[in-house]
């Protein structure tokens, strides 16, 4: 797609998604989803103003909450397979609108069009998963110690689920939560990132259409707009039993503390400082592909992005040379042009963090073997495009211990056995994603053992970035411990209840306790 076609293409996409009015490059044209301050959405692709939304006031929020509470009373009574049918229809709408929604994700957030389309595909996949799940919300049956008693366990809807999502996956993470929450009988309130508000409105328009077509209350799915102060409406609200929050570790600590103080439940998906271990038995070609995509995909703005490459000393120079060669082939520019590999960072604040991290890495002794920097000139007018950088470093550098949401890859050297590499990999506060490149079965099994990777995700001969929806997604330590998407992640959206039924004429007590009355 040529840059000259961006405006017309995005305008067409917005019209298909029902997001209007939009006036490119002007301050007019807002979408009234609240009565608060106006939030303007600028594209990092070209710096253009896409549109604006109204933020949510406290009065607006109370109206949204009332609608959600009313909707929950009827939604929870629908049989789970019928709720699954609504999710199926939502998935079908996403199939119809995959192209325009993927284009909007790419333009508003800055990721490549292929990644934007892939994000919508994740939404479709989780809908398919949830539809099947709607017939498998199983409990357990247990033998009672008392004669004539039956004991079992079942799950019930929680109520309202509050969702706080980040800019880097402006639609998929919401779908991970809502698709499961809906089939579980919950209703949702979503506060999307104020850096990509139009994506959330597009999604809300799609599900609203499905709800209307089925004569269901719109309060089953709700959005609120604004910054962290709007998010606090939910985190402090006792009427919302679960808050699912995706973002930085700093944000997660605040959310976890706030929700915990009111004894609510929180599902936290926070920062990652992900590493790939490269052993002497690694396949070099696979290693380079996995490392480069992991480091530069989404311009390094994935929570699963590869930050550290831990390379055995015998392979170090070979891997380094191959990486430098691969980075020379990277094409940086308009992410809607499928010839490009890397798009922009989300905004100029992110660019500043990128610059500060590189300066600190060099100050601590790091050596830039692929120099970074901010790009300027034709095609880079937004000021958000940067060069992906590679820095030779040591794991003890302070900057290496932190997550920088940018395309900076640190090369670390290890010697001896794979246990030494695992120790380096685990020696950070985050614990999201990890990988090892090896054709040695023993090394692979050590990496996956109790004494191996301490991350929630551990891959062999696959990079750190990207995950299928069938497995539970999440991490340990400062990543928050939450699990979303597949496996049995659905259970956090429900409350567990143990039931015991006495079908005799006697009332025996547990543990053989005697309590007789005449």
In 3-state terms, what secondary structure has residue 501?
strand
Alpha-carbon distance 232 to 467, whole Å?
Answer: 30
Start-end of H helices in 156-299: 172-183, 197-213, 228-235, 249-261, 284-296
Q: Which residues, in sequence order, are bridge partners of residue 332?
A: 342
With tokens 């939404």, the residue in question is: 123
303 is catalytic: yes
Distances in Å between the Cα of 147 and the Cα atoms of 254, 504, 505 are 49, 8, 11
Query: Could you tell me the sign of the dihedral formed by the alpha carbons of 8, 11, 15, 16, in that order?
Result: positive
**Burial of 314: CB neighbours in 10 Å, binned 0-12, 13-18, 19+:** exposed
Up-side HSE of residue 110: CA atoms within 13 Å toward CB? Answer: 36
Q: Is the peptide bond before 21 cis (omega within 30 degrees of 0)?
A: yes
φ, ψ of residue 483 to 5 degrees: the values are -135, 125
Q: Could you say which of 119, 269, 403, 484 is catalytic? A: 269
Could you tell me which of 369, 377, 376, 463 has the C-alpha nearest to residue 408? 369
With tokens 């302070």, the residue in question is: 398
Neighbours of 250 (CB within 10 A): 11
DSSP string covering 446-496: HHHSTTS--SSEEEESS-SS---TTSEE--EETT-S--EESTTGGGGGEEE
In 3-state terms, what secondary structure has residue 435?
strand
Alpha-carbon distance 351 to 373, whole Å?
Answer: 9
Alpha-carbon distance 494 to 478, whole Å?
Answer: 25
Alpha-carbon distance 462 to 443, whole Å?
Answer: 15
Rg from Cα positions in the chain: 25
In 3-state terms, what secondary structure has residue 379?
coil
Could you tell me which of 387, 378, 343, 381 has the C-alpha nearest to residue 114? 343
Alpha-carbon distance 330 to 344, whole Å?
Answer: 13
Q: Could you say which of 303, 384, 443, 478 is catalytic? A: 303
- Contact criterion met (CB below 8 Å) for 467 and 489: no
Could you tell me which of 97, 111, 85 has the C-alpha nearest to residue 202? 97
Neighbours of 118 (CB within 10 A): 16
DSSP string covering 13-35: HHHHHT-----TTSS--EE-SSS
Residues classed as catalytic: 269, 303
């Amino acid at each position: 797609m040529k840059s000259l076609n961006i405006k017309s293409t995005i305008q067409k996409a917005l019209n298909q998604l029902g997001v209007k009015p939009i006036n490119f490059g002007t301050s007019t044209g807002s979408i009234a989803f609240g009565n608060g301050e106006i939030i303007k959405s600028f594209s990092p692709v070209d710096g253009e103003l896409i549109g604006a939304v109204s933020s949510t006031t406290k009065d607006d929020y109370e109206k949204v909450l009332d609608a959600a509470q009313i909707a929950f009373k009827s939604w929870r009574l629908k049989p789970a397979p019928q709720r699954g049918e609504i999710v199926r229809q939502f998935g079908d709408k996403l199939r119809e609108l995959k192209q325009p929604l993927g284009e909007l994700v790419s333009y508003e957030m800055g990721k490549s069009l292929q990644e934007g389309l892939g994000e919508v595909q994740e939404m479709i996949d989780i809908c398919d998963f949830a539809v099947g799940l709607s017939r498998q919300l199983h409990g357990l049956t247990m033998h009672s110690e008392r004669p004539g008693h039956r004991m079992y366990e079942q799950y019930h809807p929680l109520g309202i689920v509050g969702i706080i999502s980040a800019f880097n996956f402006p639609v998929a993470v919401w779908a991970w939560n809502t698709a499961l929450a809906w089939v579980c009988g919950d209703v949702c309130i979503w506060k999307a990132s104020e850096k990509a508000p139009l994506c959330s409105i597009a999604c809300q328009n799609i599900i609203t259409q499905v709800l209307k077509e089925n004569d269901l209350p719109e309060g089953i799915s709700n959005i609120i707009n604004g910054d962290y102060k709007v998010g606090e409406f939910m985190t402090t609200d006792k009427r919302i039993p679960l808050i699912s929050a995706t973002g930085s570790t700093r944000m997660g600590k605040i959310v976890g503390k706030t929700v915990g103080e009111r004894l609510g439940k929180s599902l936290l998906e926070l920062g990652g400082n992900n590493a790939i271990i490269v052993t002497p038995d690694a396949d070099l070609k696979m290693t380079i592909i996995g490392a480069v995509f992991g480091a530069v995909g989404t311009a390094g703005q994935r929570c699963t992005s590869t930050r550290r490459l831990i390379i055995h000393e015998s392979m170090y120079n070979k891997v380094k040379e191959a990486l430098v060669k691969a980075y020379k082939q990277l094409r940086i520019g308009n992410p809607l042009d499928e010839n490009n590999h890397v798009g922009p960072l989300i905004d100029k604040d992110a660019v500043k963090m990128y610059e500060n991290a590189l300066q600190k890495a060099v100050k601590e002794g790091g050596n830039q073997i692929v120099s970074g920097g901010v790009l300027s000139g034709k095609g880079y007018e937004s000021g958000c495009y940067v060069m992906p950088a590679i820095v030779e470093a040591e794991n003890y550098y302070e900057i290496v211990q932190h997550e920088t949401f940018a395309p900076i890859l640190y090369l670390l050297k290890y010697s001896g056995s794979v246990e030494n590499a695992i120790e380096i990999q685990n020696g950070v506060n985050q614990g999201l994603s990890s990988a090892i490149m090896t054709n040695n079965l023993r090394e692979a099994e050590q990496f996956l053992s109790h004494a191996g990777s301490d991350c929630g995700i551990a891959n062999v001969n696959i990079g750190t970035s990207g995950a299928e929806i069938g497995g539970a997604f999440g991490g340990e330590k400062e990543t928050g411990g939450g699990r979303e998407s597949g496996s049995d992640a659905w259970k956090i959206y429900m409350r567990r209840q143990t039931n015991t039924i006495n079908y005799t004429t006697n009332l025996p007590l547990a543990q053989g306790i005697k309590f007789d009355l005449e």
